[in-house]
Amino acid sequence: MPSGWDVREVRFGAEDVSLAGSLGVPGEGAAAGVVLIGGSGPSDRDNDGYFRPIRRYLLEAGIAVLGYDKRGVGRSSGRWRAASMDDLASDALAALDFLRAQPEVPDEAVGLFGHSEGGWVALRAAARDAPSWVITNSCPGVTPAEQERYAVANAVKASGSQSQRDNADVLALYDRLVEAGRRGVDFAEATRLVARAGHPPGLAAYWGDVDADGWEFLKRKQDHDPLPDARRLRCPHLAIFGGSDVLVPVADSIRLFSAVACDGDRDQRATLTVEVFPGADHRVQRGGVLAPGYLRTLAQWIHAAAPDRGSRSNASR
């Protein structure tokens, strides 16, 4: 670890859980600070390694970075599968408050960065307690049910099936599962629905590792709508997408976030900036590395959005 960085293990509380994370601060203090919120599943403070190059670049750009293990992951207590979107937003707000309280970080220049599902969490948190800004990274503007349907349709195409009937059958099965979730069907009955359909391979990305707890989690979040949270924002919003993301309907998400931004009743501070990186995937990567210009764009936008940008940025390098 370069000597110019102060990176330390930290712990902070969020309601009934204790969250563990890593706080990195530039050696001469920070011009701004950001909380990194991981995506779906058991995401840790590094989000399966994805956050590491982002953290490094932001630290070099004079931006403090706090990442944390999702509740029930790594060294954090609790159970993420038992959590609601509000619970996860409370965790993000606890991280935000912790970062604001650090003497090396200007509390008026601290924001949230949420990847994928973490973007929904960031929007919910930002709607409750306005940070300096919010960044959503590959975050759908549609509900989880709509996003998963888009992902299943692309998975079916990738499976090599040439039959339109087979493709339609898989999507029809997915729709039945969503409706079953809305009716409160238990895991045993949902499993029977999939078994009667012969476990089609295109459904594996959605259903492959679902167990009873996972099914309850899916039911609980499937109709979460991120747009009311986006409408309540009181800070700038940067929405980043990979143009070739097969998990998120990018064009629809941009259209929906843009429509909310045009709402005349939205707070005037809630500007929207959209960045699309052509050819990049759900992690905004091309060929396994972050898309050219992604990190520079991220750091420059944070410095521009921060009320006090300081003079230590090397984001334009």
Mean pLDDT by 10 residues, the chain (317 residues): 72 92 92 97 96 97 97 96 94 97 95 98 96 97 97 87 73 96 96 90 86 93 97 97 98 98 95 98 97 98 78 39
Alpha-helical (H) ranges within 77-226 are: 85-100, 117-128, 144-158, 164-182, 187-196, 204-207, 212-221
C-alpha to C-alpha distance for 120 and 114, rounded to whole angstroms: 7
pTM: 0.93
Structure tokens at 73: 């992951």
The pLDDT, as a whole number, for residue 315 is: 41
The pLDDT, as a whole number, for residue 2 is: 42
The pLDDT, as a whole number, for residue 164 is: 64
The pLDDT, as a whole number, for residue 202 is: 81
The pLDDT, as a whole number, for residue 112 is: 98
The pLDDT, as a whole number, for residue 204 is: 86
The pLDDT, as a whole number, for residue 160 is: 74
Burial code of 262-294, b = ≥16 C-beta within 10 A, e = fewer? Answer: eeeebeeebebbebbbeebbbbbbbeeebbeeb
The pLDDT, as a whole number, for residue 232 is: 97
